[in-house]
């Protein structure tokens, strides 16, 4: 069974390797990740993961794996931070508060069956000082990351509480991913 990873995220490929899986192909899905008006965070992340899975061509006998991760502060979706000002603003919002990291996984099996799972991890940041936010922004680590931070990097020192999937916060919840791959007939190493 040939596995296609519908993501160019190096973190997702690294996490898949922890399951003993190396995709035969890595493809960049061309998907508009803008939230729809009034869309709830859970519905948003699941919709985007499904769209990414369908955006990558799949031949007979191929399985496609796609994922999407977002940060939810109440009903507010904190997507990927595109500039320093956005990283700063997002960290300010998350400072001293709990938020949800929602990571959706979608697998399209060789027979076309679509399976999805959602990981919901609660993360609480310590209250951040202006100097901590400035230092993090200067590191550049939060650019392109949901919520403006990367838990696998310097931002892990801001986390005072986490309940759920650490790998889900990184970008691919391994428990859910493993179950979906096995159900879709993918052999794990």
pLDDT in tens, 139-168: 999 999 999 999 999 999 999 999 999 999
3-class DSSP state of 51? helix
Distance CA 68, CA 99 (A): 17
pLDDT (average), residues 67-91: 97
Q: Cite the active site residues.
A: 68
pLDDT, tens digit, 9 for 90 and up, residues 10-19? 899 999 999 9
The 8 Å CB, 24+ separation contacts for 54-59 are 54/108, 55/6, 55/29, 55/30, 55/31, 56/4, 56/6, 56/27, 56/29, 57/27, 58/4, 58/108, 59/2
For residue 160, report the phi and psi dihedrals to the nearest 5 degrees: -95, -15
- Does residue 32 contact residue 52 with C-beta atoms inside 8 Å? no
First to last CA, the chain: 13
Are residues 65 and 177 in contact, defined by beta-carbon separation less than 8 angstroms?
A: yes
Q: At the top level of CATH, which class does the domain 2-183 belong to?
A: alpha beta
Position 6 pLDDT exceeds 80: yes
Total residues found in the chain within this entry: 189
Report whether 50 contacts 114 (CB < 8 A): yes
Q: How many CB atoms lie within 10 A of CB 132?
A: 18
Q: Please name the residue ranges forming H helices in 19-95.
A: 41-55, 84-94
| CA 189 to each of CA 19, 21, 22: distance values in angstroms, whole numbers, following the listed order | 7, 6, 9
User: What pTM was estimated for this model as a whole?
Assistant: 0.94
Q: What is the DSSP string of 78-93?
A: E-B--SHHHHHHHHHH
Mean pLDDT score of the chain, rounded to an integer? 96
pLDDT digits (tens, 9 = 90+) for 103-121: 999 999 999 999 999 999 9
């Amino acid at each position: 069974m040939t596995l296609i990873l519908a993501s160019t995220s190096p973190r997702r490929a690294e996490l898949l390797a922890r399951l003993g899986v190396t995709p035969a192909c890595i493809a960049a899905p061309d998907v508009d990740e803008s939230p729809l008006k009034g869309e709830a965070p859970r519905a948003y992340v699941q919709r985007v993961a499904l769209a990414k899975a369908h955006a990558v061509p799949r031949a007979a006998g191929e399985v496609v794996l796609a994922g999407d991760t977002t940060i939810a502060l109440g009903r507010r979706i904190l997507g990927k931070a595109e500039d320093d000002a956005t990283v700063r603003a997002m960290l300010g919002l998350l400072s001293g508060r709990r938020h949800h990291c929602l990571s959706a996984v979608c697998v399209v099996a060789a027979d076309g069956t679509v399976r999805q799972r959602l990981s919901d991890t609660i993360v609480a940041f310590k209250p951040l000082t202006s100097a901590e936010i400035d230092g993090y922004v200067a590191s550049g680590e939060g650019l392109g990351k949901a919520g403006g931070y990367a838990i696998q990097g310097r931002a892990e020192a801001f986390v005072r509480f986490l309940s759920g999937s650490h790998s889900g916060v990184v970008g691919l919840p391994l428990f859910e991913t493993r179950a979906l791959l096995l159900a879709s007939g993918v052999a794990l190493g």
